[in-house]
Amino acid sequence: MRFFRRVYLDTNVFIALVEDEDETRVSLLSELICKQPTDEPPVFCTSEVTLAETLVKPLRLQRETVVQRYESTILPSYWLDVVPVARDVLYFAAVIRSQFKLKLPDAIHLSSAYAAGCTHFLTRDTDFLQSYSLRHTRHGATSPSLSISVLRLDNPVLETLIRSFRHD
């Protein structure tokens, strides 16, 4: 049985998948994606902001092959949901920034994870806390509380995620 319901993938996860020189990590990320059952809703998700963040450097360096790899990887598929950057996501990103010291793109990622019902957030970024319990009130309406655990992008964590698929 998986210990997670949904996992949000931060931008740096895609950068590791497409450009990382650590062959073991790339292999583990690829295996993790392949473990996603094709007959179930995607377990993994990210934000449309991820595409914008990943494209900056390859566009600057005119690395068209890398641009194409990101474009073909970061799109809705059997293994990945891509959360739109809608007004409610942006509003909640502002709420998150008011409570935690995060840059706007990171707050948008965390808000997107919340919107997608993620239980875990996979990242290399050390600006994130170990976990977040998120809830806010607007015009008398209270959002449901959701806890999101932050997982660090390292080989032992990836191996644990892969093993948890094997026990389904």
- Summarised one tens digit per residue, pLDDT across range 8-31 is 999 999 999 999 888 998 999 999
CA distance 13 to 17: 6
CA distance 54 to 58: 8
In a domain, 146, yes or no: yes
Output the CA angle 123-81-77, nearest 5 degrees: 115
Q: Which domain holds residue 22?
A: 7-166
In a domain, 1, yes or no: no
Report the number of distinct structural domains present in the chain: 1
Chain segment 66-76, per-residue pLDDT in tens: 999 999 999 99
Query: What is the pTM (predicted TM-score) of this model?
Result: 0.90
Residues whose CB is less than 8 angstroms from the CB of residue 3 and which lie 6 or more positions away in sequence, other chains included: 164
- Residue 77 sits in a domain whose CATH number is 3.40.50.1010
**Across 56-60, 75-79, 144-148, least confident range:** 144-148
In the sheet that holds 80-83, the strands lie side by side as 80-83, 44-47, 7-9, 120-123, 146-152, 131-134
Average pLDDT, integer, range 27-41: 86
- Are 92 and 47 spatial neighbours (Cβ–Cβ below 8 Å)? no
- Say whether pLDDT at 167 is over 60: no
